[in-house]
Amino acid sequence: LQPQGSEEAKAFVHAFLKRSMPRVSDDTIQDMLTRKALILEHYPKKKTKQKRNKTKGFTAKQRRELRLFEIEPEQQKYAIFLPLHELWKQYIRDLCHGLKPDAQPHMIQGKLLKADLHGAIVTVTKSKCPSYVGITGIILQEFKHVFKIITKEDKLKVVPKLNNVFSLEIDGFTSYIYGSKFLLRASERSAKKFKLKGTIDL
């Protein structure tokens, strides 16, 4: 620091440094002023980190009690969910780059296995329980073990994945879903690697 100006300014700076560094001699102070830049240390106050309170979600029991996943009877109408199906078809077309005729079937199959199926129209083609065969409708909810499907007759069906085979058709491409190999939540399915197998049993 090289003081500029009058003798009073020089005297002020010298006195200030003498008070700040009482153990340093006058010669050392003068040497510091003429040869080096002077750095005044500053110790900022340590900021105390505020702990964020993590918001806890509902437990499975609380979700059941609040009936968060229940579809009200007046909302169980097939026509209400047709726009959802149209959105799903557009989503799949974008996901598969247009579903072109020359597209590789195994590529489309792989994408469908990881895709979100809410809004897809599926049909139960095979089942160990004959009463499920032929059920067709829009998937409204997918859980780990079941599909909730709304049929054209405005009936909400809960169809287990286990021991059932579902067919899914879009733009002339038909895919088959073996429910026994599909026991995953939709969020888990997107990260799973499915292996191609020649034959799969119910």
Domain at 180, CATH number? 2.30.30.210
Q: Is residue 104 helix, strand or coil?
A: coil
Q: How many domains does the chain have?
A: 1
> What is the rounded distance in angstroms from the CA atom of residue 182 to the CA atom of residue 69?
21
pLDDT, position 194: 65
| 152 contacts: CB under 8 Å, gap ≥ 6 | 78, 136, 137
C-beta of residue 90 within 8 angstroms of C-beta of residue 60: no
pLDDT, position 111: 83
Residue 19, in any domain of the structure: no
C-alpha closest to that of 110 among 194, 7, 199 = 194
How would you write the pLDDT of the chain (202 residues) with one tens digit per residue?
A: 554 556 777 777 777 777 777 777 777 777 766 665 555 566 677 777 766 666 677 787 887 777 777 888 888 999 999 999 999 999 998 888 877 777 777 788 888 888 899 999 999 999 999 999 999 999 999 989 999 999 999 999 999 999 999 999 888 888 898 888 888 888 787 777 766 565 566 6
Residue 150, in any domain of the structure: yes
Instruction: Please give the structure tokens belonging to residue 79.
Output: 């026509």
pLDDT, position 125: 95
C-alpha closest to that of 92 among 59, 126, 119, 74 = 119
Give the global pTM: 0.65
C-alpha closest to that of 116 among 96, 94, 92 = 92
Residue 25, in any domain of the structure: no
Residue 147, in any domain of the structure: yes
Residue 45, in any domain of the structure: no
Question: 161: buried, middle or exposed (CB in 10 Å: 19+, 13-18, 0-12)?
Answer: buried
Backbone CA torsion sign across 183, 188, 189, 191: negative
Instruction: Please give the structure tokens belonging to residue 154.
Output: 């405005």
pLDDT, position 3: 46
C-beta of residue 184 within 8 angstroms of C-beta of residue 144: yes
